[in-house]
Amino acid sequence: MKISYLYVFRLILVLFFVSATIFFYYSSPDELISFIGVENAYLLMFVLALLGGLTTFSGIPYHVILVVLASGGLNPLLLGISAASGVMVGDTTSYYIGYSGGSFIPQGIQKTLQKLCAFCLAHPKLLPIAFFLYGSLVPFSNDFIVISMGLARYPFWKVMVPLGLGNVVFNTGVAFAGAYGLNVYLGL
C-alpha cells in the first residue's frame, strides 16, 4: 500500500488545525501570549493573515486570533498593521493569478470577473476610493478585487496601496474591538 505525500501533508495540516483549535479553546488570551511570546505573536498574526490572503475564495479565520491577541493585551495598532501586511502579501498571489490571464480560474468565474473589470475600468477615478472603502468596511476576501484588477491589467500599486490602507483600518478596528469591546460591553 503506497501512501502519497499529499495525503500525509493533508493529514498533518488537519491534525495541526484540530490541535490549534483545542489549544485556543482551552487557553485564555494571557496563556496564549505567554506560550507564543509577545514578539512572536505579531509574527504569528502576520503569518496567519498571509495564509488567509493566499487562500483564494476561502479564508483562514485569522480574525479570531487577532481578537484573542488584542484581548490578551497586545498593541491593537501593531496587530492590525501586521495582519493587514500579511493579507496584502498573500493577495499579491491572487493579483498575479489574474494578471497571468486567469489560467487557473474556472471559466464561469472568469466571465463574472471580466464583467466586473469592465465596470471598474469605466470609472477609473472612483477605483482607489472604492478599494479603500472595500478594504476598510467589508470583512470578505479581497480576491474578487485583486484577481479582477489583475485580469484588467490595472497597475499593481494602484490596487494594493488603497486596498492595503483599507485593510489596516479594518484589522486595526477589529483589534481595538477585541481589546476594548468586551470591557465596554460588560460595563467594566
Residue 42: inside a domain: yes
Residue 143 domain flag = yes
- Average pLDDT, whole number, for the chain? 81
| Contact of 65 with 74, CB cutoff 8 Å | no
**In the numeric block, which cell numbers belong to residue 45?**
498574526
Q: How far is Cα 62 from Cα 44, in angstroms, rounded to an integer?
A: 10
Q: Could you tell me if residue 106 is inside a domain?
A: yes
Predicted local confidence at residue 24, as pLDDT: 66
Distance CA 54, CA 42 (A): 18
Domain limits at 60?
29-186
Assigned domain for 163 exists? yes
Q: What is the pTM of this model?
A: 0.75
Kindly give the parts of the chain with pLDDT less than 50. none
Provide the Cα torsion 62, 65, 67, 70; round to 10°: -120
Domain count, the chain: 1
| CB proximity list for 80: less than 8 A, separation 6 or greater | 66, 168, 169, 170, 171, 172, 173, 174, 175, 176
